Amino acid sequence: MTEPVISFDDLSVSFPTDDGMVRAVRNVSFDVEPGEVMAVVGESGSGKSVTALAAMRLHPGSTEITGEVRFGGRDLLGIGEKEMRRVRGNGIAMIFQDPMTALNPVMKVGAQIAEMVLTHDDVSKKEAWTRAADLLESVGVPEPGRRVKQYPHEFSGGMRQRAMIAMAIANGPDLLIADEPTTALDVTIQAQVLEVMKTAQEATGAAILLITHDLGVVAGIADRVVVMYGGRVFESGSADQVFYRSQNPYTRGLMSSIPRLDAPKGERLIPIPGTPPNVLNPPSGCAFGPRCAFASDGCHEAHAELMSVGFDGTHRSRCHKLAELPDLFAAAETR
Amino acid sequence: MFAYAARRILATIPLLIVATLGLFALESSVRDPVAELRVSCPQCDQIAFDRLIDLYDLDKPVLDLSNPGGSRYIAWLGNVATGDFGNSTSQGDNPVSDTVFTRAKNTMILAVPAFFVIASLATFLGVYSAVHQYSKTDYTITGLSFLGIAMPTFFFGLLLQVFWGIWFHDWFGMRPFFTTQMHDDNFVDLLKSITLPIVTLALVVVATESRFIRASMLDVIHSDYIRTARAKGLSERKVIFKHALRNAMIPVVTIWALDFSALLGGSVVTESIFSWPGLGPLLISSIFAADVNMVMAIILLISVLAIGFNLIADLLYGVLDPRIRIS
Ligand SMILES: Nc1ncnc2c1ncn2[C@@H]1O[C@H](COP(=O)(O)OP(=O)(O)O)[C@@H](O)[C@H]1O
Ligand code: SF4
Ligand SMILES: [Mg+2]
């Protein structure tokens, strides 16, 4: 087995606020293997972004973090700020949700990409700009020579996200974190941008940590999936395991709330009832308990541990009723 | 850009006309020179009154639309258009423009350095406060700003005079008043005269501007593109000075333009307290002396300054913000 690109090990992130401690991420552990696409899914507020930002150490100063984020043979949470800066944009690059606001409005797009190159590579300014144009071309921005001299507001949303991707792959990172990269885009553009990410990944060999609340985005592109809820991992495994052989009520709830092309005719979309847990005052026991159709008294007393559900240890789920789930799901299906 | 500037300037002309007309009417209605002459000079006869009436066209209305040529305001406007602002009645019989020019120059000696002190200090304090939000220094700067905003200018000026001009005069030799002739002063003398008034002028403006810059900077620091800049691996210094500052300063340009034009228009309180022969005291004394020509010239200057600097701010806005430049 090769070394994972990045390992989250028992990561917990809490924000002290005026109203109390927000425990946004709780004991999260998972790895990303080189060159794979790992998706992190879950409703908004599940702690996906906070997990990613912890890897980049971009959280506010007062944040309390425990656990480890291992990358390149060291714990990123333990290294100095200067060393961390060499990781940002170089070892790990990030693509953010809203391309309309993620680029500096008063800097030319080329300058912003060239800056990424210059920060980590000892090249001339001229060469960095040439690289910027080449990068734009590689992500499918037409007329890159002219486009580098334009400002972000002269780019469409899709083109801006391409520029963000170009910037992210500028230094050939080992890991690309994309936090809801398509959420702010038109549906027609979403597929194109995902395609560009996939191509960029093939060209650079980077692993992708794809964060999204949209399972539709994940379906075609993810190798493995982590499902998060209330700051915890609820299920993890290969895309096949999680999508087709899910062993978790929350994952199933997510799945039946999205439209599927292969769904039998007449199947209705069933949104998960209720809302994600209050972060300041989470429910006792299983965080999904108040919304779970299969919950029983035991679920509200203590939260379940993440358990292996397959034979090879690659598929894991967090639920008190793992043993009964196949029957419960089958019963729900026929109802 | 040029067409835009030209259009903006033309658009302000009606505004200027309405403003000056209103002022002219007010200023000429509050005082009656004939009545005053009658009181101050009981032995004066009708001949003297007639001379006064003739001199200032007091028999003509301020504005008569049916006979514009016979209106005092229109006559004034016509003269102004040819660069003739009339003569003063309170500062000897000199052309108003000469006096205003000299006084404006004096005001500039305070205003220009004051502006640079204000701009740099407010930027420094605002940026520092924002970058160290909720730190002890931030709270201290915030507290002092509110004190500065709340402190009446005349009180602060007097305080400085007593403190640095009298009690601790030996330390730096600050002058509590401007007393000597300006042309006898060397540079150090000048510094000793202008320091206290400049500090007085700066206090309130620094306090308000630094609050504004802090807020603007905080807005920017929490924006997505600053997170992007950090995610690139840039040093905090580059994030703040290369990415945040430029964006945060865009709205500040307007404030600077307004504040600078206000400073150039002269400060009544500060200049009076420090006996500084600038535009502020001149305006006040001219108002009391019913020196219509002088008042009108000063007000016109202040208006033109405000309009001009607003225009400059708008043009700078376009230079700083590419989103405005293109569209
Ligand atoms: N800086 C912060 N201070 C306080 N709470 C925060 C902060 N950042 C995120 N949170 C909270 O942490 C929880 C998880 O947020 P996030 O990771 O952004 O969710 P998502 O899965 O939608 O990306 C949310 O409830 C959010 O309100
Ligand atoms: S532990 Fe209970 S409440 Fe939680 S998902 Fe499983 S069945 Fe539902
Ligand atoms: Mg998020």
Residue of B nearest to A86 (CA): B233
Q: How far apart (Å, rounded) are the C-alpha atoms in residues A106 and A120?
A: 22
Residue of B nearest to A92 (CA): B231
Which residues in chain B have their CB less than 8 angstroms from residue A119's CB? 232-234
Radius of gyration, CA atoms only, chain B: 25
Give the pLDDT band of residue A8 (cuts 50, 70, 90).
very high
Residue of A nearest to B321 (CA): A106
The fraction of chain A above a pLDDT of 90, given in percent, is: 59
Higher pLDDT, residue A4 or A270: A4
Mind telling me how many Å the CA of A112 is from chain B's nearest CA? Answer: 9
Q: What is the pTM of this model?
A: 0.86
Q: How far apart (Å, rounded) are the C-alpha atoms in residues A171 and B234?
A: 14
Q: What is the ipTM of this complex?
A: 0.90
Mean pLDDT of B43-67: 82
Mean pLDDT of A296-308: 88
Verify whether the Cβ–Cβ distance B233 to A56 is below 8 Å. Answer: no
Quote the pLDDT of residue A263: 56
Mean pLDDT of A143-160: 94
A23 lines ligand 2 (CB under 6 A): no
Give the pLDDT band of residue B282 (cuts 50, 70, 90).
very high
pLDDT over threshold 80, residue A96: yes
Residue B106's nearest CA partner among B194, B233, B16, B9 is B194
Q: How far apart (Å, rounded) are the C-alpha atoms in residues A250 and A75?
A: 31
Give the pLDDT band of residue A261 (cuts 50, 70, 90).
low
Mind telling me how many Å the CA of A164 is from chain B's nearest CA? Answer: 9
Residue of B nearest to A121 (CA): B233
Verify whether the Cβ–Cβ distance A104 to B225 is below 8 Å. Answer: yes
Mind telling me how many Å the CA of B235 is from chain A's nearest CA? Answer: 7
Verify whether the Cβ–Cβ distance B235 to A85 is below 8 Å. Answer: yes
Mean pLDDT of A174-195: 89
Residues 6+ positions from A52 with CB-CB distance below 8 Å: A40, A94, A177, A179, A209, A211
Among B228, B243, B250, beta carbon nearest to A102? B228
Ligand 3 centroid to residue B9 C-alpha, Å: 49
- Mean of all residue pLDDT scores within chain A: 89
Residue B198's nearest CA partner among B281, B256, B114, B141 is B114
Ligand 1 site-directed mutation target among A11, A12, A14, A49, most atoms within 8 Å of CB: A49
Verify whether the Cβ–Cβ distance B243 to A103 is below 8 Å. Answer: no
Q: How far apart (Å, rounded) are the C-alpha atoms in residues B202 and B115?
A: 8
Residue B283's nearest CA partner among B19, B27, B12 is B27
Mind telling me how many Å the CA of B237 is from chain A's nearest CA? Answer: 12
Give the pLDDT band of residue B183 (cuts 50, 70, 90).
low
Per-residue pLDDT of B98-147, as tens digits, reads: 999 999 999 999 999 999 999 999 999 999 999 999 999 999 999 999 99
Which residues in chain B have their CB less than 8 angstroms from residue A104's CB? 225, 228-229, 243, 247
Quote the pLDDT of residue A1: 60
Per-residue pLDDT of A185-198, as tens digits, reads: 888 888 888 888 88
Per-residue pLDDT of A118-132, as tens digits, reads: 999 999 999 999 999
Mean pLDDT of A75-88: 94
Quote the pLDDT of residue B8: 78
Q: How far apart (Å, rounded) are the C-alpha atoms in residues A92 and A168?
A: 8
DSSP string, B247-281: HHHTTHHHHHHHHHHHHHT--HHHHHHTT--SHHH
Give the pLDDT band of residue A154 (cuts 50, 70, 90).
very high
Mean pLDDT of B244-265: 94
pLDDT over threshold 80, residue B55: no
Strand partners, A15: A22
Contact residues of ligand 1, CB 6 A cut-off: A 15, 17, 22, 24, 42, 44-50, 60, 279
Beta pairing, strands A6-17 & A20-32:
antiparallel
Task: Give phi and psi for A210, each to the nearest 5.
Answer: -100, 115
pLDDT over threshold 60, residue A217: yes
Verify whether the Cβ–Cβ distance B232 to A167 is below 8 Å. Answer: yes
Ligand 1 atom at shortest distance from the alpha carbon of A180: 23
Residues of A with CB under 8 A from a CB of B: 56, 58, 85-90, 93-94, 96, 98, 101-107, 115-116, 119-120, 151, 153-154, 164, 167
Higher pLDDT, residue B55 or B77: B77
Ligand 1 site-directed mutation target among A28, A41, A50, most atoms within 8 Å of CB: A50
Residue of B nearest to A95 (CA): B228
Within 10 Å of residue A34's Cβ, how many Cβ atoms? 14
Which residues in chain B have their CB less than 8 angstroms from residue A167's CB? 232
Residues of B with CB under 8 A from a CB of A: 223-225, 227-235, 243, 246-247, 250, 320-323, 326
Residues 6+ positions from A327 with CB-CB distance below 8 Å: none
Residue of B nearest to A84 (CA): B233
Which residues in chain B have their CB less than 8 angstroms from residue A94's CB? 228, 231
Joined tokens for residue B195:
């320091």
Mind telling me how many Å the CA of A206 is from chain B's nearest CA? Answer: 16
Residue nearest to atom 20 of ligand 1 (CA): A45
Size of interface A-B (CB pairs under 8 A): 68
Contact status, residue B259 vs residue B265, Cβ threshold 8 Å: no
Give the pLDDT band of residue A312 (cuts 50, 70, 90).
confident
Give the pLDDT band of residue A303 (cuts 50, 70, 90).
confident
Which residues in chain B have their CB less than 8 angstroms from residue A93's CB? 231
Mean pLDDT of A292-297: 86
Strand partners, A22: A15
Which residues in chain B have their CB less than 8 angstroms from residue A56's CB? 231
Joined tokens for residue A120:
């980590």
Quote the pLDDT of residue B126: 96
Residue nearest to atom 24 of ligand 1 (CA): A45
Per-residue pLDDT of A218-250, as tens digits, reads: 888 899 999 999 999 999 999 999 988 899 999
Q: How far apart (Å, rounded) are the C-alpha atoms in residues A287 and A295?
A: 11
Among B231, B234, B247, beta carbon nearest to A106? B247
Mind telling me how many Å the CA of A155 is from chain B's nearest CA? Answer: 12
Quote the pLDDT of residue B211: 96
* Look-up of token digits 């027609």: A188
Mean pLDDT of A11-39: 93
Ligand 2 site-directed mutation target among A229, A294, A329, most atoms within 8 Å of CB: A294
Give the pLDDT band of residue B253 (cuts 50, 70, 90).
very high
Within 10 Å of residue A19's Cβ, how many Cβ atoms? 9
Give the pLDDT band of residue B184 (cuts 50, 70, 90).
low
Quote the pLDDT of residue B182: 57
Give the pLDDT band of residue A268 (cuts 50, 70, 90).
low
Among B224, B233, B320, beta carbon nearest to A98? B224
Quote the pLDDT of residue B235: 94
Q: How far apart (Å, rounded) are the C-alpha atoms in residues A114 and A106?
A: 15
Give the pLDDT band of residue B219 (cuts 50, 70, 90).
very high
